[in-house]
């Protein structure tokens, strides 16, 4: 069997297991009343069980244990990424069962980020290809913590419409797996591929109309894992792999930053639940959940592919860098533009 065939079989296996486990979680969570009911801030109109992200957490944890058992030398990198992520999953599951204070969740997020950074090391530089190397010097630790905690929360914030978190996790996980494989970090590649495969398996029950939601247990876990997996690579590879994660997650990063800044400028309480993310405004303006998920997932997949290309073929570096810049700029203009156009069309129809 070819290398591509092996990876396809591996992702297919995790997909199948995740789909089966998610299906069982639909009944299990419903029986125990772990359900999201529609309210003024919801984008759904019917009661739906939550906690489907447990399937992703369980599969990644089991795969990580197998990786360590088969390749003991990789235990440090695997433990540095997965153990703090399980702490994130645990506190998020408690939050799914009964609301926790923001300060409690943030404290665990920060402690987990500190633990992961202490074990794996901070991000000291990012390779921007033909644009040069961006070095952080004394800002390495605070910027690394900002990256991890920020992405953990951004992914959680963005899990508000059917399919959007699952499809983005799949695209980003696949991109990181490809980057890790290109760098020869097989252990990280296997775990990232398991995350991608299990996210697709989860999507079989979360694709619009969703039969189960990911919940904080899944969204915070995925955000944390996607942030720290590039840090688990060899020191000389993480500078090249981080742009892959950033490009794949650019729609989530952009939407969160745009919305946070907009609300801050309006004097709103940025810690209060709301429905003003760009993706939420698209749904409110008339876009279907499926269309929004495909838009964000498509941009994520495109970004990951562009960023991975020069790792596989260095001759494509300059062209890939140009396409990457164009993708970043186009997305930054397109998403707010689509929201503006959709809201204007809706207002015209109402009037």
Spatial separation of the C-alpha atoms in residues 111 and 139, rounded to whole Å: 18
For residue 284, CA distances in Å to 28, 275, 344 come to 31, 9, 12
Reported as type and span, the H/E element at residue 332 is helix 317-350
Q: Is the pLDDT of residue 283 over 90?
A: yes
**Is 44 part of a structural domain of the chain?**
no
265 is in which domain, residue-wise? 3-39+50-350
pLDDT score of 235: 80
Going 72 to 17 to 15 to 247, the CA torsion angle's sign is: negative
Spatial separation of the C-alpha atoms in residues 345 and 347, rounded to whole Å: 5
**Is 45 part of a structural domain of the chain?**
no
Q: Residue 26 class from Cβ within 10 Å (0-12 exposed, 13-18 middle, 19+ buried)?
A: middle
Long-range (24+ apart) CB contacts under 8 A made by 100-103 are 102/271
Q: Average pLDDT in the 214-237 region?
A: 95
* Cis? peptide before 209, omega within 30° of 0: yes
Coil vs helix vs strand at 135: strand
pTM of the model: 0.96
CA angle, corner 279, sides to 274 and 283, nearest 5?
Answer: 90
Q: Is the pLDDT of residue 8 over 80?
A: no
Please give the DSSP secondary-structure letter assigned to residue 43. Answer: S
Q: Average pLDDT in the 34-62 region?
A: 84
46 in the Ramachandran plot: left (φ > 0), alpha (ψ -120 to 50) or beta?
Answer: beta
**Is 29 part of a structural domain of the chain?**
yes
**Is 18 part of a structural domain of the chain?**
yes
Q: Is the pLDDT of residue 318 over 80?
A: yes
Spatial separation of the C-alpha atoms in residues 325 and 151, rounded to whole Å: 21
Number of domains in the chain: 1
pLDDT score of 175: 96
Structure tokens at 196: 């991608």
Spatial separation of the C-alpha atoms in residues 197 and 201, rounded to whole Å: 6
Q: What is the CA radius of gyration of the chain?
A: 19
Task: Output the average pLDDT for the chain.
Answer: 93
Q: Average pLDDT in the 280-284 region?
A: 95
Spatial separation of the C-alpha atoms in residues 37 and 168, rounded to whole Å: 24
Residues 50-60 have pLDDT tens digits of 999 999 999 99
Q: Is the pLDDT of residue 29 over 70?
A: yes
Residues 10-19 have pLDDT tens digits of 788 999 999 9
Give the residue among 131, 114, 158 at the shortest CA–CA distance from 275. Answer: 158
Spatial separation of the C-alpha atoms in residues 209 and 218, rounded to whole Å: 18
pLDDT score of 41: 58
What percent of the chain is predicted at pLDDT more than 90? 84
Spatial separation of the C-alpha atoms in residues 256 and 153, rounded to whole Å: 9
Q: Residue 16 class from Cβ within 10 Å (0-12 exposed, 13-18 middle, 19+ buried)?
A: middle
Which stretch of 2-11, 122-131, 144-153, 319-328 has the lowest confidence by average pLDDT? 2-11
């Amino acid at each position: 069997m070819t290398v591509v065939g092996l990876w396809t079989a591996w992702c297919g296996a995790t997909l199948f297991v995740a789909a089966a486990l998610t299906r069982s979680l639909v009944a299990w969570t419903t029986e125990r009343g772990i359900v999201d009911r529609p309210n003024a801030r919801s984008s759904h109109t019917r009661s739906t069980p939550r906690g489907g992200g447990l399937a992703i957490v369980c599969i990644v944890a089991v795969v990580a244990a197998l990786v360590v058992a088969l390749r003991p030398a990789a235990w440090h990198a695997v433990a540095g990424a997965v153990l703090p992520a399980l702490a994130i999953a645990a506190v998020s599951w408690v939050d799914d069962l009964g609301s926790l204070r923001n300060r409690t969740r943030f404290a665990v997020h920060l402690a987990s980020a500190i633990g992961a950074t202490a074990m794996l090391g901070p991000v000291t530089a990012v390779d921007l290809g033909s644009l040069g190397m961006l070095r952080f010097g004394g800002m390495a630790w605070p910027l690394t913590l900002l990256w991890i905690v920020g992405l953990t929360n951004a992914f959680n914030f963005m899990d508000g419409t059917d399919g959007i978190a699952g499809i983005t996790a799949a695209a980003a996980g696949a991109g990181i797996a490809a980057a890790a494989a290109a760098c020869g970090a097989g252990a990280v590649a296997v775990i990232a591929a398991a995350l991608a495969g299990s996210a697709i398996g989860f999507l079989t029950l979360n694709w619009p109309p969703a039969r189960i939601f990911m919940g904080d247990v899944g969204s915070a876990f995925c955000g944390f894992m996607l942030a720290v997996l590039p840090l688990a690579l060899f020191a000389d590879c993480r500078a090249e792999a981080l742009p892959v994660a950033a490009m794949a997650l650019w729609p989530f990063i952009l939407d969160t930053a745009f919305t946070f800044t907009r609300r801050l400028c309006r004097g709103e309480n940025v810690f209060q639940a709301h429905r003003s993310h760009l993706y939420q405004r698209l749904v409110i303006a008339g876009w279907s959940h499926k269309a929004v998920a495909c838009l964000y997932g498509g941009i994520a997949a495109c970004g990951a592919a562009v960023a991975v290309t020069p790792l596989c073929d260095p001759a494509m570096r300059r062209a890939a860098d140009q396409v990457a810049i164009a993708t970043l700029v186009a997305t930054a203009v397109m998403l707010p533009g689509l929201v503006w156009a959709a809201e204007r069309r809706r207002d015209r129809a109402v009037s």
